[in-house]
Structure 1
Amino acid sequence: MPLRARQALVILAGVVLAAVMAGLGLWQLQVFTDQGNASAQARAQQSAVPLLDHVGADGTVGDVYGKPVIAQGQYLPGQQERVLGEDGVVRVLAALRLADGRVLPVVRGTIAAGAEPPPAPSGQREQVGIFLPSEPGTDHALTSGYSLGSVRLAQLAQLWPEPLMPGFITLDAAESAAQGLSPATVQLPSGEGSWRNSGYALQWWVFAAFGLGMALKIAQSMGRRERSRNVTMGGG
């Protein structure tokens, strides 16, 4: 068999082997991602717990992000914002003052763009929702009448004078409807899958690179041996 054909077969075998290993790495990474998503969903389906039992007066947060919480307090009249997301969805964010004086931002639901939100309910309320940390800032343009592009607590603190809780909740569909709003989608935080699967994915990709490199090296070595043999025969 000609040299180039043998080299091509060696390289082809290396490419096929590397592709298989890369595919195994992607599969392991998907397992890692699926485990994380399942973990986040499981947290979101747990029984609701009192928020103030898991957030200290100094702002220390226990293992409660991504879990349903119960918050009791009163909505501050007229203190709510319209949050215009990058996707055009407008969330209504209201200030619920808790028993300790801090304010919990509450996503009551959504409204049509340009519409005015209904006022928040009056009196003492018990609200249940998934407690989430501050959202990252955004850089999309905000039309007139909107001051927030996300529920970013550092930015909200410049609009509301009261001390804020280190997170916010989003009401479920039933409660949003009861308050005259459409439901808001909750973006659950990414859970952590088994780091063992993440490590396996990295190992497969290292093996793939090593295998492909070895195939190229073997093909080059075959060429050098062939040239050396030709030189020897020519010299003889």
Structure 2
Amino acid sequence: MVKTRIQQVALVLVGLVLAGVMIGLGLWQMQVFQSQGQSGAVARMNEPAVPLTSVATAGQQITDGYGRTVSFSGTYVPQEQLLVPVDGEPGTFRVLTPLRTADGTLVPVVRGVSVGTTPPPAPLGTVEQHGVLLSSDTQPEGPVPAGQIGSVYLPVLVQRWTDPMIAGYVTLPGDLATAQGLSPAVPALPSGRGSVQNFGYALQWWVFAACALGFAIYLAGHIGRASDRRRLADLGLITQDEIGPDPDRMS
């Protein structure tokens, strides 16, 4: 009986160790998958800039533009400027200023980051700009002071700015932000996709882990049941043919 219990515990421990190793390998493959996706997003951002009008126009859904660097020109509209509080950094704001293009379309532009509520003014006149095109931030929570907005949430901007607007916003790169007297704003790049093969490997390792642990538990139970049948046979309650495999031979 004691030997059987030792065998059962040993089998379950081996199953747990194998499952733990396989889960770790699955997590590593998932990390590789996510890292490849992030690298792909950065590589997409660093590709040569394309004209904004080639991927985004007012009133049209953007299908293949988010995460790309786009170029555009126009005039900033400073009277419509808003400050977006940076999470976890009290008194620090992203400076969101709309830029009106030649056809009257507004492009929401995060020019950079400012400490305090009096950022440097936007450039005057027609300017050439470029930056990474991003989709709407998540809906903000709670009220904010006048002249601020909780996040770059496009449905709210559409209500505040009456001119036609693209379905996204642009974050300027570090050099342009610095040239305007601001600190660079870190763009929230859209999640890229890693190798499907690595994702498949992660799932495969997790399936193996479940199988290893499940088989160890099944085998431990089988040994216990065989031991019980052997004791019943020794007591004459069942025949020798009903004993089944000898648990001592399974060690």
SS of residue in 1 equivalent to 2:79: strand
Which range is displaced more, 192-201 or 39-48?
192-201
- Which structure has the larger Rg? 2
SS of the residue corresponding to residue 33 of structure 1 reads: helix
Query: 1:127 maps to what in 2?
Result: 129
1:74-223 matches, within 5 Å, as 74-88=75-89, 89-113=92-116, 115-139=117-141, 141-223=142-224
Task: Name the amino acid aligned to 1:121.
Answer: P
* Change in CA separation of 1:77 and 1:86 when aligned onto 2, cut-off 3 Å: closer
Shift of 1:12: 1.2
For normalisation by structure 2, the TM-score amounts to 0.87
In 1, the alpha carbon distance for the partners of 2:44 and 2:73 equals 21
**Structure 2: tracts of 5 or more residues without a match:** 238-251
Deviation of the 1:146 alpha carbon: 4.9
Q: Counterparts of 1:63 and 1:200 in 2: how far apart (Å)?
A: 29
Specify whether residues 156 and 58 from structure 1 end up closer, same or farther in structure 2 by C-alpha distance, changes over 3 A only.
closer
Identity over the aligned pairs, expressed in percent?
45
Return 5+ residue gaps in structure 1 as ranges: none
Aligned 8 A contact 2:85 2:94 in 1: yes
Matched residue pairs, number? 234
Which deviates more, 171-180 or 185-194?
171-180
CA contact (8 A) 1:109 1:184 kept: yes
Deviation at 1:188, TM superposition (A): 1.4
CA 143–149 in structure 1, closer or farther in 2 if over 3 Å, else same: closer
CA deviation vs aligned residue, 1:60-107 (integer Å, no higher than 9, x gap): 424221111101111124111011132233011001011222100001
| Residues 36 and 195 in structure 2, CA contact (< 8 A), matched pair in contact too | yes
Return closer, same or farther for 1:143/1:54 CA change in 2, 3 Å cut-off: closer
Q: How far off its partner does 1:26 sit? A: 0.8
Q: Corresponding residue for 2:40?
A: 39
Aligned to 1:6: 7
Q: Answer yes or no: is the 8 Å Cα contact 2:97–2:109 preserved in 1.
A: yes
Note the alpha carbon deviations across 1:130-160, whole angstroms, 9 max, x for none.
Answer: 1111111132x45533541211111111211
RMSD over aligned Cα atoms: 1.7
Q: Is the 8 A contact 2:19 2:213 kept in 1?
A: yes
Q: State the AA in 2 paired with 1:137.
A: Q
SS in 2 for 1:235: coil
